[in-house]
Structure 1
Amino acid sequence: MLTGLIIACEDVAGGAGLRAELPVAGQTVLEQQARLLIEAGAERIIAIAERLPQGLAAASARLRRDGIVIEILRRVDEVAQRLRPDDRLLVMGDGVVTDTGAAERLLEAAPPAILTIPDAPDTRAWELIDASARWAGLLLVDGELVRRTARMLGDWDLQSTLLRNAVQAGAERVPLEPGPLLAQVADPAAALATEQAISQAAVRRPTGLLDRWVFDPIARALAPRAMAAMIDPAWLRGGASALLMLAALSFIGGWRWPGLVLAMLSGPVDVLGRQLGALTMRLRKDHRRWMQLRYGAASAALLALGWNLRDFGWGTLVLAAATLGGMTALLEHQRWIGKPTRRPGWLAEPDLLIWLFAPFAAFGWWPTGLAAQAALAFASLLAVQRLTRRQS
């Protein structure tokens, strides 16, 4: 079993509070570390903190709401009591912020193993372990080494002592290749710089023409402010689905344009939520759940619009159902057969179908807009079938 161990004892340089409480990318350092450990495969997470300030307690509560349980312990011997000698521990140094690439690189080795960076003028802030290498903030050890360290620790620093014991035990040196984000957050200025680095490294790939040229630039412009305000991505993902449900109610109530505007707004709100979710390392299962909810809400809005337009004839409801059938077939084909290696930007997706409707609605051609949506859905299905057949 892989256990994540977070060191959260150091105070902020020149200020009050712990490094683990500093805000980075819309969450605390502790939350960022915990999410990384879960993404890396940790089955449980332990944090050692000599005191439990309000910021750390609040961070733990937010993680728990997201289904991540973290034990915060005060003493090293309490950590040792919870470990078996053969347990694997992925240790994250105090205030260390990185990404899954660094963790996965270290997990390829057998414990004990140390992630290292070269000794150079720009790495002097990292702890020196020999004449040519410095510790990169991640350490892979077994439970026995932690228990042995706990027995000898006394008043010594856990992080440095555990590192020295790993070195003395002949730990493998795993050099960190260029690429993964690596930062040491010791003060608010370092936290801000790390947040900017995370933003630049992001993350989310646009899925189509509308996403690439409209939604993604909006999300990238708003993401820094949303992170500074520590907005939970779940509020945005849920809000996007709520806008679609309000659109469905508007269509049922006979308010076509208000419903269409609400549906169009749901796209950029959802993309901003996805951007924040990627930056803050929200779990992939959350993304699937939100996508399923939003697809369901979009389907309800489309059927409600088809029902609203029945004064043009019941064929509008048939067109709405045809679009849903084409999109369902497209999604199931990609799920079971596979996605094309190169995805054309014009392929149908909920937001593109919604925004495609706007120019037709502007001229009062509401049924024609439904027909255009159905045509795009089936054209996309045929294109994906052809492209995946060529790959096989």
Structure 2
Amino acid sequence: MARLIAIVTGANTGVGFGICLRLLIQLSQQAPSDAQPQERVDPNFALSSRPLVQSPYNSATLVLACRSKERALDARERLLVAFDVELLRRKRNNRGEDDAYARHFRDTLQIDFVQCDLASVSSVFEFCDVVKQRYPYISHLICNAGISCFTAIDYYAATWQILRDPLAGATHPTYISQSSGLMSDDGLGLVWQCNVFSHYLVQRELKELLCAAPSVARVIWLSSMGAAAGHSDPEDWQLIRSLSAYQASKHQIEIIAHQLNEPPNPHVRHIVVGPGAVHSGMGSQLLGPLTSLIMIIYFYIVRWMGSPNHPGQARKGAISATHASLAPIDHLPPSSSAPRLDAQTDRLGNEFVNVSRTDGHTEMSVVAGRLLERIDGLCETFEARDGRREGADNPESGLDGSVVIV
């Protein structure tokens, strides 16, 4: 049995923290529930038609890739406390029986912090250098971190949409404004750099470590229900002018991830997942305590109305990422179908995984191919800037502190 070595970006809060905690809870079981076949992922067989999936990992190293050391170390402590509480609860439910497997897992657990600021290309390079020096391989890279550019809520429009169509108001709100024109110090579209480019750069820089994993490595990309081809303009590929940059960045993530599976790499699989609608730090700058409470209640109401897309809690929304991490590769939908594994719940809040399909998948290869050409050229440009390769001459990018948008 091998040691799982997983990097989770943005692990100190929200869905990233939920993924880390859920991974620990699942990995401390010999037959993790999230690794089992999901009836709604593959309806062609019943959940009882195959033997229990045993975890291929009996130990783990979690790498918290965060911008703030203080917040990462605080998250580490909160993870350990919450995990110990869960193990104690499990032991009591087992009437005091000694769970040697869980105890061994807890004793060998390692939670590390490596600083990474996705808004800085130099920081991403430094992060990858540390990872290469510290770890023999990476079995899982979970690209969770991201930023939004939400600026305001139109409460009149919100009231109108919620009263007219409460499910759409909670799933695809049209009453939240986003800013445009945000740029990073590297001269890139800020939302695009943090959500798309930096994660692509990490997996590109760590490709050798991913290929060195003892089994097929998994790069898991966090998308969103709002991801749709209609938000993307191929000519504004850095999403600088976009008024829906967050949704457009998530669509780019989906098509990039699926394109990276073509042709199939026997050593690395790229998987797209969605956490559903959960209460996290995203957009918290717009919500006060009262508004946040109203939003949580709203999520519960639409869940009772029949919406499966509102897990509400980050830990429930994390099931799509943990299932993608632990289920056997041949239990997952084939990459050729451009799937996204979505976290969903029933009316009682019992979480499960469902499958949707990437919007615009029929034209995906052409659009994604062109986008990847531009991104790879940009990677070479920054590698040359930071002295990582001999000069790269690409007509779509420059080294004068800005990037030429074509």
Which category of TM-score, normalised to the shorter sequence, fits these structures?
A: under 0.3
Higher relative contact order (CA 8 A, sep 6+): 2
Task: Flag the structure with larger Rg.
Answer: 1
TM-score normalized by the length of structure 2: 0.27
